Amino acid sequence: MIARLRHAATMACLGMALSAPLAAQEIKPFESGSLEKIVTAHKSRPFVLAFWSLACPPCRDELALLGDVFQGESARDLVLVSTDTPEESAAIATVLAQRRLAVVEAWVFADAFTERLRYGIDRQWQGELPRTYLYGVDGKIQAVSGKLSPQQLRQWIKRQTASAKRP
């Protein structure tokens, strides 16, 4: 009887441990001026800035691709911005963890007037998602609406790597 109780208690503790996240991912508030902070922090390297939402099925596919490509050291070259609300930060962190993106820099729109934020990012952006910006080593920025293809992303990375190696 005691052995059964001990087993049940062990299983209950294990279940709680497995259901709780190991560490909460910091999700920063994206507000007016945040883009400049991101660009300044990443100015010495090419990086990918990807906008997504919990309610966007194609975004989840792109997050899976980004999770496959940006692992280890390269994770510092990816910045994710959710266009959801700060109140959804727990759900955002869960999705990112599921896509192996719990270590990347993550932000969430923190202004209810999302049009103002989008306009500050790109005057041509009408809100379609996913929306990705490829910041090249040469200072050029490529905007992509819709899902990035694996080939498109890998070719861009290859070009950035080749450009960085040039004297």
pLDDT tens track for 21-76: 445 689 999 999 999 999 999 998 999 999 999 999 999 999 999 999 999 889 99
Averaged pLDDT for residues 131-150: 95
Q: Does the pTM of the predicted model rise above 0.75?
A: yes
Distance in angstroms (rounded) separating the CA atoms of residues 77 and 24: 20
Determine the pLDDT at residue 164: 74
Give the residues across from 141 on adjacent strands.
Answer: 135
Query: Residue 124 corresponds to which tokens in the numbers above?
Result: 């041509």
Domain extents in the chain:
25-165
Determine the pLDDT at residue 166: 63
Burial class (CB in 10 A: 0-12, 13-18, 19+), 122: middle
Q: Does domain 25-165 match CATH 3.65.10.10?
A: no
